[in-house]
Amino acid sequence: MTYDLVATLRPLLTAEASAEAHASGAEPGDLEQAVWLRLLERLDTDGPPLDPPGWLRRAVRSEARRTRRTHRLERPYGIEPVDDADRGPEHLALAAARRRALRDAVRRLPGRCPRLMEALLSPKDLTYREIAGELGISQGSLGPERSRCLGCLRRLLAPEVAAREVRG
């Protein structure tokens, strides 16, 4: 039943995600993966939707709105110096504290996000193919998975990051 539902909805989802992605600032593949995940969660709790195409359209639009809202609310962090060699001891201590906070937040991430983020942060500079092989997932899933994990990481780090200056 689930396979039939997926096979039936795949073309519609591809079209809907492509149509909504540009306006939301997301990749179509990211929207598709988010909706498939939402469908699986729904199947586990409530069973299949009564109107699968209608449900799918609403789910794509909902994910696109969530992505737009996230992009609107998130602000990039200030640029940090790449080379800490010229810095004094206080800068080195602050940089070490930031790295510790990042590593602690990575360990608190849900699911397989800690392993993925550790692989991405690895000094070995692994390729996507190597990371996918290490984690046992497809290479095509790494981008959307990385996006979700980074979103979780941003939410975890938000309270720990100093507030920006007031504008206006």
Name the CATH code of domain 89-160 (choices 1.20.1440.120, 1.10.10.10, 1.25.40.10, 1.10.3720.10). Answer: 1.10.10.10
Percent of the chain predicted with pLDDT > 70: 85
Query: What per-residue confidence (pLDDT) applies to 12?
Result: 92
Q: Where are the beta strands (DSSP E) in the chain?
A: none
The answer for residues whose C-beta is within 8 angstroms of residue 69's C-beta and 6 or more apart is none
Q: Which residue has the higher pLDDT, 75 or 106?
A: 106
Lowest mean per-residue pLDDT among 50-54, 101-105, 107-111, 160-164: 160-164
CA dihedral 87, 93, 99, 104 (to 10 degrees): -170
Exposure of 135 by Cβ count < 10 A (0-12 exposed, 13-18 middle, 19+ buried)? middle
Which residues belong to CATH 1.10.10.10 in the chain? 89-160
The answer for residues whose C-beta is within 8 angstroms of residue 55's C-beta and 6 or more apart is 42, 49
